Amino acid sequence: EKFKEVDQGGNTRIECQATANPEPVSYEWTKSGDATFKTSGKFLKLKKVSHTDSGEYICTVNNVLNPTLGVKSERRGNSSVKISVRHKPGVGFIEPREPESVEGKSITLICGASPSGYPDPKFKWWKG
């Protein structure tokens, strides 16, 4: 699968499906943009996920060719899956924090939350 949604606090398990002859000798998972994330095994297992676990995960598979009359060589292939963690938006904010306006001129206010939430929340403005 290329895309997976997971609820915050939930667990997920994704199989790296690879077909090779001979069979793969290793599976390694990495996360795009996170040099510290690395795990081995055919399955990517994430427990108690949070919004920071969202992202693209890459599975790299290796196998070794050892022909009878040839030179031993290693082959590598990879595939990726995007994981999106469903979660509530964090603390809301309006920018600029202390807006100043001039009569007759327009002003732009930005409403958001950090973290933003997934799926993207819908914000409503009201006068009060």
Residue type, position 64, single letter: V
Which of 27-31, 37-41, 83-87, 122-126 bottoms out in mean pLDDT, i.e. has the lowest? Answer: 122-126
Is the CB of residue 42 less than 8 Å from the CB of residue 29?
Answer: no
Q: ∠4-15-78 over CA atoms, to 5°?
A: 90
**DSSP 3-state helix, strand, coil percentages of the chain (rounded to 5)?**
0, 50, 50
Q: How many CB atoms lie within 10 A of CB 54?
A: 19
Check whether 44 has a pLDDT greater than 90.
yes
In three-state secondary structure terms, 53 is helix
User: Could you read off the pLDDT of 69-99 as tens digits, one per residue?
Assistant: 888 899 999 999 999 999 999 999 999 999 8
Mean per-residue pLDDT, 51-66: 95
pLDDT(55) > 90: yes
**β-pair type (73-86, 3-7):** parallel
Q: Is the pLDDT of residue 59 over 90?
A: yes
